[in-house]
Amino acid sequence: MNSQKRKVAAEDLYQLTYASDPQLSPQGDAVVYVKTMIDEERAYRNHLFVRDLQTGETVQLTSGAVRDTYPRWSPDGTRISFVSKRSGTAQVWLIDAKGGEPRQLTHCKTGVSTPLWSPDGQLIVFSSLMDRGETFDDQEGEAKEAVVPKVIHVERMKYKSDDYGYLYEKTRQLALVHVETGEVKALTDGPYHHTIGSWSPDGKWLAITANRNENPDMLHTVDVYLLRTAGGEWKKLTSSNGTFSNPTWSADSQKLAFIGSLADGIYLNATQKRVWTCDLESGELTCVTADWDVQIGDSTIGDVRSPGHPTPGAVWTEDGTALYVIVSERGNSGIYRVALDGQKEHIVSGNRNVYGFTIDEQKQTLIAAISDPLIPGDLYHFNLETKAEQRLTELNRDFFANVELAVPEEIEFAAQDGWKVHGWMLKPVGYKPGEKYPLVLQIHGGPHSMYGNTFFHEFQILAAKGYAVLYTNPRGSYGYGERFMQACCGDYGGKDYLDLMSAVDYACQQFDFVDESRLGVAGGSYGGLMTNWIVGQTNRFRAGVTDRSICNWVSFYGVSDIGYYFSAEEIQANPFTNPEKMWQHSPIRLVANIETPLLIMHGEQDHRCPIEQAEQLYITLKHQGKAPVSFIRFPGAGHELSRSGDPEQRVLRLQYTEDWFATYMEPKVPSLQQ
């Protein structure tokens, strides 16, 4: 071990940076990407960089106190569009691919997102959240100072969103902007959300997705549509029996591919995503991965990169016989080439997390954005012919040259009913054989997501503070087949709880450095719910930290942005026909049993798991007068606080976690000296 290196600290979040959203130029000789960092003002910054793949030269295209995202090349490769709030609201900007001053293209009062060039380079389609009656032709562009309304009349069930705040009557609409004149033409309207997919090769059609059901608040299916850009003709390709996204065209315009899943009457969201194709002449739908029990897309949870990075979906080969997709399995996400006949080839594999890619088959080039347990996020070049791999960026080289990181060890064990459960053990930094260390069990959210081989700052901090960190994928997690993923539905606190307890049992039995008398537990969202459940079931843990959690399914039903339909699928209950079942799965009914010191942390603007959940838990614990409890509220913070929230709040959250465990678990912080 290098005695000159120091240990990771919460404040190191300010130094971490990562690359995302790589896009190869039309000529395949350069890649533009987004570099995300936190500046001296403790604010996020996103800048665009272009790397020449021939010379290796990297040029910074944008700079300053801005967040520039979503870069896309013009078809001739001379310009790059991107989204920026540099004028006040998110607008489409254009910049020469060789650099220079950017030019603002759109001036929409409501802001824009996801711009995409037409094949001839004359138009860009974009989307915007708009109120009923608003138009795209507001040339003033910059939003006026917000005026607090005297009253708000709510009529929709989906009137708020953790992603966008209070929507009320806002819906996502699509429009075209002429690149040279700036003229804007609306493409969609109505009380529905629409999402951009891709242009047809001839530029006459757009493949999009939308929920245009008669009552989109009650029927949550998302369909694939073709929309003619001139004339407004619509063609519906799916049958309102599933959720689909990311439609992409084959080069010959004969087929579409998209990602999605069918509803089976019980599950809509708790189903694995698969690859589908549609023959545009016959209308026939085919599930290409019907016999492959994996999750399509990146489902890995980390805490440095914000979720929701742009994804290419299923990318066609030039000959239209196969598709390139990201696949999540056993804690890894990699890239496969999936032929239409079902044959599969692993293109980018290994113990890592692929969260974006771009490909040029003519150049035999694939650029992937990748993280692993020691790398927050860099770009890698893969030669499709020779299989050679080259790392293109090393954005945190200087930082990691000076800090010591813990390396996770993969584990697998049998749960109480014999099911196999997979996870990782992180030894304390400075670990010495023969010594005993406290252990923290970490529980991920979702529950349909997965821990994996990606960078996790919080885990590294705990390891640096002298804790062993145990993190697993109990049933409910992605990556282990659909049966495993659905096994927690209707059974929250049942066998998923036993999986977690089996993990602790295994760690205590197999790792002689674990001090069984000093155990802690922590988790967020579903992981927070399970933390609440665990401390209500057992006094085995010295301390718990519950973050953006659920404690009461009955009230969650009516206050969460997803509550009224999420509860029906995940708990398989509602307050009208079986409120007893909702109560049975609610940790708050177990509060009288809790003796574990519990730290409750929650964002005040969390619409996914609203703060009233934390308030109920805190007041009930206080009223019982039993276990030590503390409540930390984060003003203005939403559900994604720990990943994309205010940087200073994120650091404070980590410090509160450290302090709570230190108070009740008395860790012995190891020295890095030999």
With tokens 């730290």, the residue in question is: 599
Distance CA 17, CA 544 (A): 30
Q: Which residues lie closer than 8 Å to 149 by C-beta, 6 or more apart? A: none
Task: Name the catalytic one among 84, 639, 642, 644.
Answer: 639
List phi, psi (to 5°) of 397: -55, -50
Residues in a beta bridge with 630: 599
Cβ atoms of residues 14 and 38 within 8 Å? yes
Active site residue 253: no
Structural element, H or E, at residue 663: helix 647-665
Cβ atoms of residues 559 and 551 within 8 Å? no
Structural element, H or E, at residue 209: strand 205-210
Distance CA 297, CA 334 (A): 9
Residue 630: CA count within 13 A, CB half-sphere: 14
Beta strand segments in 361-407, E: 365-372, 375-383, 389-391, 403-404
320: left (phi over 0), alpha (psi -120 to 50) or beta: left
> In the numeric block, which tokens belong to residue 10?
């919460």
Active site residue 525: yes
Question: What is the DSSP track for 145-199?
Answer: PP---S------S--EETTTEE-TT-EEEEEEEETTT--EEE---SSS-EEEEEE
Cβ atoms of residues 119 and 132 within 8 Å? no
CA dihedral (282, 273, 567, 209) in degrees, to 10, reads -50
Q: How many CB atoms lie within 10 A of CB 518?
A: 22
Residues in a beta bridge with 426: 408, 469
Strand 598-603 and strand 629-634: the pairing is: parallel
With tokens 């929709």, the residue in question is: 156
Is residue 447 reached through a cis peptide bond, with omega within 30 degrees of 0 on the bond before it?
yes
Using the 8-state DSSP alphabet, how is residue 482 labeled?
H
Cβ atoms of residues 141 and 126 within 8 Å? no
Closest to 583 in 3D by CA, of 573, 593, 568: 573
Give the residue ranges of DSSP H helices in 17-147. none
Q: Which residues lie closer than 8 Å to 625 by C-beta, 6 or more apart? A: none
Is residue 667 reached through a cis peptide bond, with omega within 30 degrees of 0 on the bond before it?
no
Task: Name the catalytic one among 525, 549, 560, 586.
Answer: 525
Closest to 308 in 3D by CA, of 647, 638, 654: 638
Cβ atoms of residues 618 and 629 within 8 Å? yes
> Using DSSP, how many helices (H) and how many strands (E) does the chain show?
11, 41
Any idea which residues carry the catalytic annotation? 525, 639
